[in-house]
Chains A and B, each alone.
Chain A
Amino acid sequence: MLTESTARSQVSAILDVEKIREDFPVLKQSIHGKPLVYLDSAATAQKPYAVVEAIRKFHEVDCANIHRGVHELSQRSTAAYEETRGKARRFLNARNKSELIFVRGTTEGINLVASAWGRKNVKAGDEIIISALEHHSNIVPWQILCEEKEAKLRVIPMNDRGELILEEYEKLLNPRTRMVAFAHVSNALGTVNPAREIIELAHKAGALALVDGAQAAPHMKVDVQALDADFYAFSGHKVIGPTGIGVLYGKSKLLNAMPPYQGGGDMIRTVTFEKTTYADLPYKFEAGTPNIAGGIGLGAALDYVTAVGMDKIAAYEHELLLYGTEALQRIPGLKLIGTAREKAAVLSFVMEGIHPHDIGTVLDRQGIAVRTGHHCAQPVMDWFHVPATTRASLAFYNTAAEIDALAAGLLKVKELFS
């Protein structure tokens, strides 16, 4: 077994994390007199100067509406916004730029599919499969659809480690299955699901597959073609971009066959009071003036993580997660919730006799930001018979020293409440 000091140096060898931290202004502050230890990146990630600057430049220099107007500013803003679409294509390795739809975030991406695809393709008696570890945003849109269409929602169960049970999944698949919607990585547990395998099985059964990539896109290289995903959604703000912007990938064949999601400007070709014809992809799904600044900020964010390297980020965070797992397991009375063999960036836990909100408040007073509660995944909490957990979530700007601060903070929590 590694000693603590060698483990720490192994973590730091993969990335020059101190140099990276210099790029994130938020991290350079004290909270309640202690250096900020930000361990809530699964809720939202911090933003580098490059992103802040890109948004500022848009508002200060290039601000205009896009896709209309022949004037210089409109052309600049259109070019900058559309450039992000190309970056998103490369980020997900999609075949074609027109397969990337800008949305507000993962939630809207899933709602778009449940609404536009679901309205047309799901009928009474059909079945939609989700999994036991989904975020509410990948449960509720399908529930709404199923209720409206009298379709059936079925759930892939998980085991005590928080891994989906694939044998049970196979039993759920049948000719009535229309869609399998699942998280690539669980936000509450950190479980990395075998996406390729889940999708392949869905396709064999004649169903489509949608992947909620909100917690995967920030932490690993995603290749929608290799996955053969039909839809893949992620949120910009979890990938160090701004809030209010995200991307939905869909295979063009499917997107083309779908009715629009919302009607309005920018999504039409011609409008008369008798008949409207719709714009081509991706604009058919982008009604109204979008979050232009957000889109441009997302472009800068994708540039940043691409320059660092998604493979390096994944490797670094993996070492940090192992280091954190060991550190937390040394704390008496602490139980990790979610111990899947394949995990990413999340340390969710409970402490005997101490409520997560008390843990969160005491840690906050030591400058440590964690998330406490049900993490918008109440069925996951029910499965583990806990009302809530404390979740420390990692990003590539976190350090082993911050994990040590968390462990020390938790010992103080124990001291106070026992």
Chain B
Amino acid sequence: MVDDLYQEIILDHSKHPRNCHAMEDANRKAEGYNPLCGDKLKLFLKVENDVVRDASFVGSGCAISTASASLMTESLKGKTREEAMKLLDRFHDLLTTESEVGRDLGKLVVFCGVREYPARVKCATLAWHTLKSALNGAASEPVTTE
């Protein structure tokens, strides 16, 4: 049933998103946009010595995209760039493949239900597309899910 998608932790993070604010002293920023549903997101990172010290976001989106951004910013803190990129790949696999759910994803495993809702995969990945663009430090244009 729909509870598989909207697990308690997702509902909690969508209603009370963590790290949901702009960051004055961010040294990496990126914007993400999902043209299909109009979801927009700005991601802020503070990266020092190749480690993500702080992460935050602002934006408007559905429960899935908001919760995904909220949980992503939580899980990024303290990760090296390489670890963050690895997490991104693992998260993407969680949503799109039938592979075993990775234990190292922590709280992020709550998104495994999204797999059953192909139309919603992009909602869950918007923040992560944006992360990739922020870490790669390119992109003057917003990254899109399309």
| Chain A residues within CB distance 8 Å of chain B | 354-358, 361-362, 365, 372-374, 378, 381, 387-388, 416-417
Contact = CB atoms under 8 A, between A and B. Distances in A.
Nearest to B117: A361
B26 interface: no
A358 B64 contact: yes
B63 A358 contact: yes
B116 to A, nearest CB: 10
A416 B117 contact: no
Contacts of A357: 37, 62, 64, 120, 123
B63 A388 contact: no
Nearest to B63: A358
A358 B15 CA distance: 13
A358 B62 contact: yes
Contacts of A416: 2, 6, 11
A374 to B, nearest CB: 6
Contacts of A388: 37-38
Nearest to B62: A355
25 contacts: A355-B62, A356-B37, A356-B62, A357-B120, A358-B6, A358-B62, A358-B63, A361-B2, A361-B5, A361-B117, A361-B120, A362-B2, A362-B6, A365-B2, A372-B37, A373-B36, A373-B37, A373-B38, A374-B38, A387-B38, A387-B40, A388-B37, A388-B38, A416-B11, A417-B14
A26 B123 CA distance: 29
Given A372-B37, A417-B11, A355 B1 contact: no
A387 B39 contact: yes
B60 interface: yes
Contacts of A362: 2, 6
A373 B37 CA distance: 5
Given A354-B63, A373-B36, 11 more contacts: A357-B37, A357-B64, A358-B6, A362-B2, A362-B6, A374-B38, A387-B38, A387-B39, A387-B40, A388-B37, A417-B63
A3 to B, nearest CB: 33
Contacts of A387: 37-40, 60
Interface string B60-72: 1111100000000
Contacts of B11: 416-417
Interface residues of B, number: 21
Nearest to A381: B38
Interface in B1-36: 1-2, 5-6, 11, 14-15, 36
B63 A355 contact: yes
Contacts of A373: 36-38
Contacts of A356: 37, 62
Contacts of B2: 361-362, 365, 416
Nearest to A386: B38
A209 to B, nearest CB: 31
Contacts of B117: 361
A362 B117 CA distance: 11
Interface string B97-123: 000000000000000000001011001
Contacts of B60: 387
A241 B36 CA distance: 26
Nearest to B120: A361
Contacts of A358: 6, 62-64
A355 B61 contact: yes
A371 to B, nearest CB: 11
A232 B11 CA distance: 47
A356 B2 CA distance: 15
A372 B36 CA distance: 10
A387 B1 CA distance: 27
Contacts of A355: 61-63
A374 B61 CA distance: 13
A97 to B, nearest CB: 40
A286 B6 CA distance: 50
A318 to B, nearest CB: 31
A381 B37 CA distance: 11
A246 B62 CA distance: 35
A204 B51 CA distance: 69
B38 to A, nearest CB: 4
